[in-house]
């Protein structure tokens, strides 16, 4: 099986690569590339994202044909895709970081700045926080409710359809931290930085 981590120059993704290679061992081929033919032929795709919504969307668009290839992979062919952090946020229709920026439009909704309640909550939201699992998913196999995951973000994804929400975390309000719509899965937290439980989530994605 081939799992492709999309490398579209969106910041340092070495921890994502290392954790997937650690979990996959020899059974699964982990490819890190922006080569469209390799993405098309892979069984699963990981879309990481670091930095701002705007910079990540622009980086995707800067690689000719990449967005079309991802659309074909996830929307037309319905193969499993995992978005991490801004990778999840880009599923939205629109984001409001820096300037209003159009997202991939895979899951209707918007990405807005976390309400820090007049400075009561520090932004970015950094560190370990409990996740509240709202519904069962193969991605949360062997993960207990109220487990701690690692976060680094100032913006949150607000989906229109609440049925796609897998888990939330409490920080200023209930922030969506995992979504699932058919074959498309996203986590706002960083599984690659969330120790053994994060590796378990990566394993569950590989095993889907």
Residue tagged active-site, from 153, 156, 177, 190: 190
Question: What are the pLDDT digits (tens) for 78-108?
Answer: 999 999 999 999 999 999 999 999 999 999 9
Domain boundaries, the chain: 2-206
The answer to whether residue 192 is catalytic is: yes
Residue tagged active-site, from 85, 153, 156, 177: 85
**What is the reported pLDDT for 205?**
98
Residue tagged active-site, from 97, 156, 180, 192: 192
pLDDT (average), residues 32-40: 97
The span from the CA of 129 to the CA of 140, in Å, is 16
The answer to whether residue 153 is catalytic is: no
CATH classification number, 2-206, choose in 3.40.640.10, 3.40.50.720, 3.40.50.880, 1.10.287.110:
3.40.50.880
**What is the reported pLDDT for 201?**
98
The span from the CA of 85 to the CA of 153, in Å, is 8
Residue 10 has pLDDT above 90, yes or no: no
**pTM score, two decimals?**
0.97
């Amino acid at each position: 099986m081939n799992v492709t981590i999309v490398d579209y120059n969106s910041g340092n993704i070495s921890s994502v690569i290392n954790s997937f290679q650690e979990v996959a061992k020899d059974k699964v081929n982990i490819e890190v590339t922006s080569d469209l033919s390799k993405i098309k032929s892979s069984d699963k795709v990981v879309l990481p994202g670091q930095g701002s919504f705007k910079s990540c969307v622009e980086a995707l668009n800067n690689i000719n044909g990449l967005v079309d290839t991802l659309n074909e992979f996830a929307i037309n062919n319905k193969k499993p895709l995992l978005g991490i952090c801004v990778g999840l946020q880009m599923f939205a229709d629109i984001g409001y970081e820096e300037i209003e920026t159009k997202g991939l439009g895979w899951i209707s909704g918007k990405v807005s700045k976390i309400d820090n309640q007049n400075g009561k909550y520090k932004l970015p939201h950094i560190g370990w926080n409990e996740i509240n699992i709202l519904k069962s998913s193969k991605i949360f196999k062997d993960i207990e409710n109220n487990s701690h995951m690692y976060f680094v973000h100032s913006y949150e994804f607000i989906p229109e359809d609440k049925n796609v929400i897998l888990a939330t975390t409490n920080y200023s309000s209930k922030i969506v931290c995992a979504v699932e719509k058919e074959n498309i899965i996203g986590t706002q937290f960083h599984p690659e930085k969330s120790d053994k439980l994060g590796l378990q989530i990566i394993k569950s994605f590989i095993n889907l």
